[in-house]
Amino acid sequence: MKKKIILIGGGSHANSCAELIEQENIYSILGIIDEKKPRKGILQKYKYLGRDLNLIKLKKKVRFAIVTIGHIEKPLIRKKLFNKIEKLKFKIPIITSPLSLVSKNSKIGIGTMIFHNVIINSNVNIGKNCIINNKALIEHDVKIGDNSHISTGCLVNGSTKIGSNTFIGSGSVIKNNIIVGNNCFIRMGTIVSKNIPNNSRF
């Protein structure tokens, strides 16, 4: 029997998250928490459970929850909601596409979602509440901090370190042994061949 799960966030990114959860086929989506009822995409077929104030009541019925809000500029809302469900002692799973390859020798933090056709090589360490989006390649010995988003088609080469709360834009390539700091924003298609300090836009 599938475990029931609540999605926290009903925007456009949540449509992809819901489909990913369906394809993983471990959890059954009970419904959506958001400021308002979703009006487009596959989310419409799930029950609207109201705003996040209802989480305390829902905790008595459902053990699992996950944040399904996206992150481009800053992950402040994702962090806030993740911290809330963690404080309420929901069980927060790791969601992994059956179409992706994740080394058994890597570590993935709770709340992280690994989308389709991702490759995560050996000895990778990915933090909590991250998005590893479609077709990303994360090479050996990479470390990625909490609340970061590695966008579609990124190539993150070996022994790279990416800080917390950082966004790496689609199609970016990060050279091996590079350090990208915390709270950084890397634009789409960027080739990163030097270290990037904290709080940078590049």
CATH architecture of 95-196: 3 Solenoid (2.160)
Q: How many residues does the chain have?
A: 202
| Predicted confidence (pLDDT) per residue in 28-72, tens digit | 999 999 999 998 888 999 999 999 999 999 999 999 999 999 998
| Predicted confidence (pLDDT) per residue in 148-180, tens digit | 999 999 999 999 999 999 999 999 999 999 999
Three-state DSSP state, 70: coil
Contact between residue 126 and residue 120 where contact means Cβ atoms under 8 Å apart: yes
| φ and ψ at residue 24, rounded to 5 degrees | -65, -35
| Predicted confidence (pLDDT) per residue in 122-148, tens digit | 999 999 999 999 999 999 999 999 999
Mean pLDDT of 84-104: 98
CATH architecture of 3-87: 3-Layer(aba) Sandwich (3.40)
What pTM, to 2 d.p., does this model score? 0.97
pLDDT exceeds cutoff 90 at 22 = yes
Residue written as token pair 């990124």: 154
* Domain residue limits, the chain: 3-87, 95-196
